[in-house]
Structures are given as structure tokens and as C-alpha cells.
Amino acid sequence: MIIFVRKYFKSFYLHLYMKKIGLLSDTHGFLDLRMLDFFENCDEIWHTGDIGNNGVSEQLSAFKPVKAVYGNMDDYDIRSQYPKFLRFFCEEVDVLITHIGGYPGRYEPEALKMIKAGAPQLFLCGHSHILKVGHDAQYGLLHINPGAAGNTGFHLVKTAVRFIIDQKDIRELEILELPRETTLK
């Protein structure tokens, strides 16, 4: 009986202290509702910029708690709601989000300055419309660019990412790929 109770509380503790994160970028004013299906079991949604308009921002915020940054294509309304850089802890993981951040070996200068001052464990950015996930051994961080979730740009598929942050661990990363509509109705 005691073993059962310990297993129950351990399971409860682990569920309480882990976060399921949905990550997307470059929606450019269009949110595919299939993204919301992909994020259904997530605790939070993080957007790495080029949200596009308040409609997308409001739709995401009505669905789940949102953390976001503005991108180079976002207007004053979006820029007044979200910062250029966002740094915070999720569980025990130091997270840094920006839109134009570059990637390991080619970081954008402002992002590089922040990384050199104190590298986060998780660095998230967008802008390139190219899905990339990689470890930066030089700075000891995980870099994720979720690609583009909208219909505007050169990408052929819309992408999004979800993962779990469990205390210090980042795990169970999954990728969604959807065909991009070339014409909107």
C-alpha cells in the first residue's frame, strides 16, 4: 500500500512541475486551426514573432496562456503588447526568445551579446521560416527555430513544435508539418 501511495504522489508531483510547451513562429496574420489541435494538451504557447495581427494574438491567448515577442513584420499594436527579447525561467530552464536571433555559429549581434553575457539553456527564435533544432556546444544551449506556421513566405510546409520542460530537462520534442495553402479563400 505504501508503494502505491508513493507512486501516486510521485506521478502527481511530476505532472504538477512539468510544462508542455507549444512553439510557433511567423504566422503573419494567419493561424491554421490544426495548430490548435496540435497544442491541445500544451500548458502554454510561445510565439517567436511575426504574429501578424491582433486577431492571431487574441485567438492564441483565448486558447492558452501565451508568451511572445514581436517580429520585424509586426505593427505598432503587436509591438506595444510584446517585447523584442523575452527572458524567463520555465521550471528550472533559463529561456531566451527573440524573433531575429540567428543560429549556432551565426547569431544576430544583439542576441549574441545576450548569450555571451549569460547563455540561456534554451534559445528560441524565428524569422528564417526554416525549422531548425540543434545543440550549441560552444554556449551549452539548445537552439530551436520552429519554422513558419503561416501561409506567407517561401516555405512549402507550415511547421510547429511542442515539447516538455520537466525541471531541468527539455524532452519529447515533436514536430507538426502541414501543407501550406498558396491561395487563401
pLDDT digits (tens, 9 = 90+) for 167-180: 999 999 999 999 98
- Is 5 inside a domain boundary? no
User: In b/e form, how buried is each residue of 61-85, taking b as 16+ CB within 10 angstroms?
Assistant: eebbebbbbbbebbeeebeeebeee
pLDDT band at residue 182 using 50, 70 and 90 as cut-offs:
low
146-157 confidence digits (pLDDT tens): 999 999 988 999
The distance from CA 17 to its chain's CA centroid, rounded to whole angstroms, is: 19
Cα–Cα nearest to 29, from 67, 59, 61: 59
- 112 burial type by CB count under 10 A (0-12 exposed, 13-18 middle, 19+ buried): middle
Q: Element (H or E) spanning 12, and its range?
A: helix 2-16
Alpha helices in 39-179 (DSSP H): 54-63, 76-81, 109-117
- Is 185 inside a domain boundary? no
Domain of residue 79, residue span: 18-179
Query: d(Cα 116, Cα 49) in Å, to the nearest integer?
Result: 22
Query: d(Cα 82, Cα 67) in Å, to the nearest integer?
Result: 8
pLDDT number for residue 17 = 73
1-16 confidence digits (pLDDT tens): 444 444 444 445 555 6
- Domain CATH code at residue 113: 3.60.21.10
Query: d(Cα 127, Cα 143) in Å, to the nearest integer?
Result: 14
66-117 confidence digits (pLDDT tens): 999 999 999 999 999 999 999 999 999 999 999 999 999 999 999 999 999 9
Total-model pTM = 0.89
- Is 1 inside a domain boundary? no
- Is 102 inside a domain boundary? yes
pLDDT number for residue 65 = 98
Q: Decide if 139 contacts 119 (C-beta within 8 A).
A: yes
- Is 6 inside a domain boundary? no
- Is 10 inside a domain boundary? no
- Is 2 inside a domain boundary? no
Cα–Cα nearest to 149, from 68, 43, 65: 68
What's the number of domains the chain is made of?
A: 1
